[in-house]
Each structure stands twice: as C-alpha cells, then as structure tokens.
Amino acid sequence: MDFAVDYEVKEVLAALHKFIEAEIVPLQVKYKRELENERYFYQEDGTYASEIQDAIKQVRMKSAEAGFYNMFGEAELGGSGDVFGPVSIAVIFEAISKKYGIDPFITEVFPRGLFTGGLTPVLLGLQEEVREEVLPEISSGEALLCFGLSEPDAGSDIWNMQTRAVQDGDYWVINGTKQWITNAHYAKYVMTFAITDLELVKARKGGISCFFVPIDGETVVPTSTIPSLGHLGSATAIIAFENARVHQKYIIGDLHQGFGKALHGVDLGRVVMAAQCVGVAQWALNIAVNYANERKTFGVTIGNHQVIQMMLAECAMDIYAGRNMLLNCAWKMENQPEIPIKEISMIKAFCTEMAQRVIDKCMQIHGGMGLTNELKLEKAWRWARMMRVPDGTTEIQKRTIAKKLLQGDLQF
C-alpha cells in the first residue's frame, strides 16, 4: 500500500490554502471579536449573529465559484466525486485540519457533512424534474440542506421513530418532531424521514420513507436551538412538522424503503470525521511541542522534563496509529469489492477518542494556559468530545465491530 500524496491532491491543497488566505483570513480578521467571544458570535436564541450568517454564506458561495464546495459531490449531480477517492478525501481533510484546527469559516468551504449537505448522494433518489428544480441553488451554495433523521426518542434505534406521513391523494401529510438537526435554522430544505407503513416498521422490514421538504416556517418550523458542551448556541436545532403537505414527487428513493437512503454515503462521512480528528490532533501536538521548547521551569525548558516527554510521545503514538488506521481503511474502500464495515467503525471510534486524548494531554502540557481560550485548545477539546457521538456513538461502532468479528470477519 502506497499512501504517498499524488500530484493532483497536492495541487488541490495548494489551491485550497490560497483560497483560505484570500477569502477566509480577511473574514477572521474582520470578525475577530465574534470568533473570540461567543457572546457576539451567537444571538440570544442561540442562532448565529446575522453578520456571521452572512459571512458563512459568503464563504460557501465563493467556495462553490472556486470549485471546492462541490468537489466531493456525486458526479451524477454535477460534482467531481469520481475524481477523488476515499484516500484523497482523507488526506485533504486531514491536511486542512492539521494546519487550521477548528474554524467556523473554514468548515463552510465544504458542505457540513458530505452525505447530509451539498450534493449529497441522498439526492440521487430524487426524480429528474425535482433535481432540475433544486440542484442549481444547492450547488451554488445559495440553499442549504439539513438531514431530518434523529428524533427525541430515535437516535441509534431509528426504528423507534415517531414521525408519521399519511397519504392524502397525491400528497403526504407529515407530523412529528426531529431533533439534533444541523443547519435547521439556516436550511431551505430538510431531507426528512417518516413512517409510511407502521406494520413494516414493527417488523423492521421497511415502512420508512424519505421526503424532500421545504422549510416554510409555517408547517415546517425550526424551533429551539440546542446549545452544547459549553457553547452559547449552535447550528443544531429541533424541527417541528405540523400537517406539512408534500407532493409524492418529492419522495426520495422508493416508498417505504427510505431507510437505506439514511445510510447512503455515511461511510464516507465517517472517513471525513476521522480525518478531521487526525488533523486536529496533529495541530494540537504541534502547539504543545512548540510550547515545550519555549516554556521554562526550574531553569530548563519543560521539554527536558521526562513527564512532558512521555505525554508528547503518547500523543505521537496515538496519532500515528489513528492516521495509519484511517489511510488503511480508505485504501480498502478504494481497492476491495466489499465495503470494509468493521474498519469504518474502527476509524470512527478510534480516531474520535484519540483526538480527545491527544488534545487533553496537550492542554495539560500547557498548564493554566491550556485552560484558556487564547490557544483554542479548550475549544478543540470540546469539539473532539462532541465527535464521539454523531454518526454513531463509540459504543454503537464497537457493537458493529463485534458483530462482524462474530460473523467470521477476522481479517485486518
């Protein structure tokens, strides 16, 4: 296996760095106060401040113009997805995260979640006439999507879904509540899942359909924003459906079989998440190494103290293991006929846990400075802690791994 970065990926990374320097760094300077103090970044209801919303949209649309926003989108939808395989995608996301850490503007260069936003593969299930209607505004970055799967009582156990869709002639009437929905307050459309055949759901053989629904603010309403882990707000919210009427042409995929669409593309999403974790862990370690070479105690730099050396070494070993696990999994996705389900669960579980371990040690190396928000380490720690839950918790991933082992998949 050769994980060397090919010329095309190097060119993309060079162009990305130029784009970030030209378009995003000026925004970071302009909104320095908002980025450093969440009291200005969020409004009282927890949504982004209006100027931040405008800046994020500006990044998104300029990224689309530059060719980055749709770079990993499905080719059939107008993206360049056939050009970049999982290894290239992993390398690109790792490199960006390694250099810039966690930044809300840089996050918008690509759709937030490759399988839940932008030219998501879920949209392959749309009818041709609907695609022609909505793809231009989605691909330009003008219109955002959100993914309405989770509910208050249906997370990992999606069969416990309560949202219902009842047929009324050529229309379906949807009632229910979705929770933990990223982009809910900013999206124009929600790809939402609802029970359309209760008996099939009870038998766990289907009965869930996927609908492409406009967020009209009347029958489909984003309600409470959900602040999380020390933040004053978030991009995540609750969406309420009250007699939302959707024409049957807006069903994504087959009626009663929408659950498959919920997972279409999720594997690549986990590669991206793992790559970001590997990159952010390297970003944190670089900061800690520089600090260890500068900070002095007892007459020497702290890098001379054995306890600091042990922590740095443990961080490096963790990153090395996670990075090679990630690239090996991505290589298998490209070169093996079957999806490496076990390995995909492994990288999601290991890399998210690893990132938090590494950042935690890097904070400890900094002592009191590590607890401040000046170095952004504590912000990265909070981000890493949250990554252990979305797209399947660590425990769900371990369950998947164990099932594959018990079924005889003992190859590594």
Separation between Cα atoms, residue 65 and residue 63, nearest integer Å: 5
Tokens describing residue 129: 């006439």
Domain regions of the chain by residue span? 7-114, 125-136+144-261, 265-406
CA distance 58 to 111: 13
Q: What is the pTM of this model?
A: 0.93
Question: Quick one: pLDDT at residue 261?
Answer: 61
Looking at domain 265-406, its CATH class is mainly alpha
Half-sphere exposure in the Cβ direction for 59 (13 Å, CA): 25
- For residues 257 and 331, is the Cβ–Cβ distance under 8 A? no
Q: d(Cα 283, Cα 297) in Å, to the nearest integer? A: 24
Tens of pLDDT along the chain (412 residues)? Answer: 788 888 999 999 999 999 999 999 999 999 999 999 999 999 999 999 999 999 999 999 999 999 999 999 988 999 887 788 999 999 999 999 999 999 999 999 999 877 788 999 899 999 999 999 999 999 999 999 999 999 998 877 888 999 999 999 999 999 999 999 999 999 999 999 999 999 999 999 999 999 999 999 999 999 999 998 889 999 999 999 999 999 999 999 999 998 776 566 788 889 999 999 999 999 999 999 999 999 999 999 999 999 999 999 999 999 999 999 999 999 999 999 999 999 999 999 999 999 999 999 999 999 999 999 889 999 999 999 999 998 889 999 999 999 999 999 999 8
* CATH classification (class only), 7-114: mainly alpha
User: In sequence order, which residues have a C-beta less than 8 Å from that of residue 131 and are 6 or more positions away?
Assistant: 77, 123
Architecture of domain 125-136+144-261: Beta Barrel (2.40)
pLDDT of the residue at 69: 95
Cα separation, 394 vs 387, in Å, equals: 9
